[in-house]
Amino acid sequence: MKRIILTILILIAVLLFPGCQKEAPVEIDLTQLESEISSADIFTTELSKVGDKYVTSTMFISLDGVDSYFVYSQAGQTGEEFGAFSCSSKDEAAALVGELKEHIDNFIELHKGYAEDAVPRLKNAIIEQNDKYVAFIIAEDNSTAQKILDNYF
């Protein structure tokens, strides 16, 4: 009888112990994500990597809580862009999501009446957050773009 009770207690401990473990922090390889998106055939035009000045002055994104990032954009009228950010915290990432939504809303207004073909693409922009990471894609082929992000987010 003691063996049965001991066996049951051991089984309970084994089943409950993994639930007490802290979940490992999420780690996303931004370099790999950048390579995968930039080589995908999802855009109607060639995009170029942009720097801090574009991100802060044109997109109005604050880089204060951002540890690393990449953003690609184009000079034409397609509205296509993509990028990903590693933030210092989950809260900073959530704030960045809001800034990206505002950027896209502003981009929609900018393209109305002058580049109408871009407006549906902008309205279907994809923004994903996973812990301290944020990615966005404005592309012609949203289905493939979403599949790429699903591998990371």
pLDDT band per the 50, 70, 90 thresholds, residue 9: very low
Residue 62 predicted with pLDDT over 80: yes
Is pLDDT of 4 > 70?
Answer: no
- 134: tokens are 């944020």
Model pTM? 0.82
Confidence of residue 22 (pLDDT cuts 50, 70, 90): low
Query: Is the pLDDT reported for residue 23 higher than 60?
Result: no
- Is-contact 136 99, C-beta < 8 A? no
**Strand order through the sheet with 81-87:** 48-50, 66-73, 81-87, 133-138, 126-130
Task: List the chain domain ranges.
Answer: 28-150
Q: Name the one residue in this structure whose structure tokens are 């000079």.
A: 75
Beta carbons of 103 and 61 less than 8 angstroms apart:
yes
